[in-house]
Structure 1
């Protein structure tokens, strides 16, 4: 026993010797004044005219940001007033996705944590933002997953969270690190807001330009109206293949490429073994590819247009192609937006048939009627929407870059590998 204690003491000393100068290792329970589960109360206390907001786990996103806009109101009794949150309280999800950490910011109305959250009050000698950030560090999140119990629905207790070991620098350094990471958070939030606004603007543009409610300057011509059967024909994807045929041979366009992209990403292809002379349909420039089935009606008939000159490329078995008779009436660059537009999507969704999996019947599909402007206006509309897409892509790339920079910075600052200047 004495030898074991001596070994533990030696390990503890070794860990301390490895810590950055001035840092120390503490348990989470040492930095909190108290903790409390969110109270349970009957559903009939929820009331739109209630006196208190109830923050649920669904009001907290994966990054720990709380959306206060949809927090339900409840009329709680006086006996629960002790649960009213104070500015700076830490909230940690204790059920489902355990360990997501949020900092409560005081609102115009009193709020309490819901039953699946744990509330922690951080001692004044520690910086609550720093504590929240270190708890969200991947290494601590891994530890939280380890100490979560249960089957499908994981749970964690305040006692177990209290045992987590945290590396803490002196208080001034905690404040500075939290401030540095907060700068990145603000940049990410700003970029996310710009991205959401750009997506909304593109959606509004599509609703206006693809319906003729708004015409671009200089265009006044009449729009054409056609059933799909009048302007093209359908063809099937590859048939007669077994599992052993995939992973080698010739290229084909997979389902996810079509589902995720308005125009086919020619760099994202897979392979299937197709023999010379075998009767299979080959994809061509201008073809509009559609998903045949999905688990929900909303995802049936997603389209992707081939806008690259390609040869000997095939289509997966779970999609079908629509080939225009010619490009004299409908341009492929316009079709990219038309078939992802709100009106066409609604026409497709109502055709979805099935129970556990929904399918798109081709005969009814070809009866869908579409309207589109003359070719020169189609090209102009496509140019406007392409510009909107480019702006969205740039903002997506910027947001991803900022998140990677913040992740790398957290790895350095929260471990003391990089020290901040005070």
Structure 2
């Protein structure tokens, strides 16, 4: 049970603290608690970089993979001879901390125990902590907070493009408790992270259950109706005639990412666009099914989402909608599961056209014949899957609460 120091006249201690600890925290600079190394400039690697992986090559860890937290998928390599002769100071190994230093700064990742040794490029920084002074979990938390603080100072309200002046960062002071108290705080952080990870697995398994049942129930009931989207309703385009100045205020519209990411449009994730009185723009109505028009891969063309809101909203210009009029044949809420089913995704692939970027052949897609369950079975499937989806929603809210609890505790347990 933590004690509250908020009203106590003790200097350099956090608001919340485990009761068995007392005394002030000691002051250190970031230069005291870790060693930092930024990657070599691109010109130092440029002539030696190649793509194919071989047994006689060394991986280059990249900024792109840092942002995605997918560090083991590095695409570029250098020869082992060049690594041995020129890159020894830029080695990164299992257990090292890597920080992104350009573009989206401050992404922090610890290389796992099975990570492959390699080198890091100029967009990254390697950090090796002084384990006698600071616990790694504590360092990541404190360092991340400090990066956020510097970002606000040096961005001047705009998107920051590079890490703050490194000399300033290293000179910045931080207060730390004893190793025993750090261990206790670190253990709390780990327990919170484990609970959040467990909650995330619960959500993933429920979502997998929905996906599996969706396909299974469609296989059982999917031959009840032969129809097409052109028979089920009328298609319409998204916003037209808009410039960058029109966005940011005004009336709500559904973004491309909202359609792409959700089977049912997220009504808490609208953006806004200026619409003049009397301006002719298509309005999204309840039950409309929306599709993305293009993507970098054919598998992701025509991703669908259904709008089940009651308010009139608009649609982004990179999607199109179909207003369902034949409700005697189709139950619109069921479409949120139908358009994400494996059979439908396979059905839509052939209508993606292009080479470097793929676009949906809208006219052919709308006329193509589709197989759907009977109206009664559509309602039955929706009833089953929507109950599990409600469980997912509940578990997701719990996941958010755990994350909020962690952030609150950590804010109170550090100076």
Q: Same fold (TM over 0.5)?
A: yes
| CA deviation vs aligned residue, 1:39-79 (integer Å, no higher than 9, x gap) | 554213862424654433333358xxx54542456542333
After superposition, residues 215-364 of structure 1 pair within 5 angstroms as 215=220, 222-234=223-235, 254-256=253-255, 259=259, 261-263=262-264, 287-290=287-290, 298=300, 302-306=304-308, 314=312, 316=314, 320-327=321-328, 329-344=329-344, 363-364=363-364
Per the TM alignment, residue 339 of structure 1 is displaced from its structure 2 partner at its CA by 3.0
Cross-structure match for 1:371? 371
Q: Partner residue of 1:106?
A: 113
Post-superposition offset of 1:378: 2.0
Task: Give the Cα–Cα distance (whole angstroms) in 2 for the partners of residues 27 and 279 of structure 1.
Answer: 60
- Structure 1 distance, partners of 2:240, 2:125, is 54
The answer for the alignment partner of 1:93 in structure 2 is: 100
Matched residues in 1 for 2:265 and 2:159: separation? 41
* Structure 2 CA distance for partners of 1:122 and 1:353, relative to 1, 3 Å: closer
CA distance in structure 1 between the aligned counterparts of 2:289 and 2:353, rounded to whole angstroms? 19
Indicate the SS of the match to 1:124.
coil
| 2:139 counterpart of 1:131 | yes
CA offset at residue 346 of structure 1?
6.4
The answer on whether the counterparts of 1:36 and 1:118 sit within 8 Å (CA) in structure 2 is yes
Cα displacement (A) at 1:30: 1.4
Q: Which deviations, in whole Å up to 9, do the C-alpha atoms of 1:185-212 show, x marking residues without a partner?
A: 12222223333444344334444444x2
1:259-311 per-residue CA deviation (whole Å, 9 max, x = no partner) reads 36544667889897878xx99998766x42436867878566743144x7x6x
Secondary structure in structure 2 of the residue aligned to 1:106 = coil
Contact in 1 for aligned 2:27/2:174 (Cα 8 Å): yes
Which runs of no fewer than 5 residues in structure 1 stay unpaired? 1-16, 416-422
RMSD in angstroms over aligned alpha carbons?
A: 4.7
**Higher Cα Rg, which structure:** 1
Residues 63 and 100, structure 2, Cα contact 8 Å, conserved in 1: yes
Matched, 1:174 2:166: no
Name the residue aligned to 1:23: 25
* Equivalent residue number for residue 66 of structure 2: 60
Within 2, Cα distance between the matches of 1:293 and 1:45? Answer: 32
Question: How many residues are aligned here?
Answer: 376
Residues of 1 paired with 2:123 and 2:268: CA distance?
44
Deviations 1:216-235 (A, max 9, x none): xxx6x843221223333446
State the match for 2:73 in structure 1.
70
Map of 1:142 onto structure 2:
149
Q: CA deviation at 1:326?
A: 3.6
For the residues of structure 1 that align with 2:62 and 2:284, how far apart are their CA atoms?
49
Q: Secondary structure of 1:22's match?
A: coil
The separation in 1 between residues aligned to 2:202 and 2:80, in whole angstroms, is: 38
Q: Is the 8 A contact 2:284 2:307 kept in 1?
A: no
Unaligned residue ranges in structure 2 (runs of 5+): 1-9, 14-22
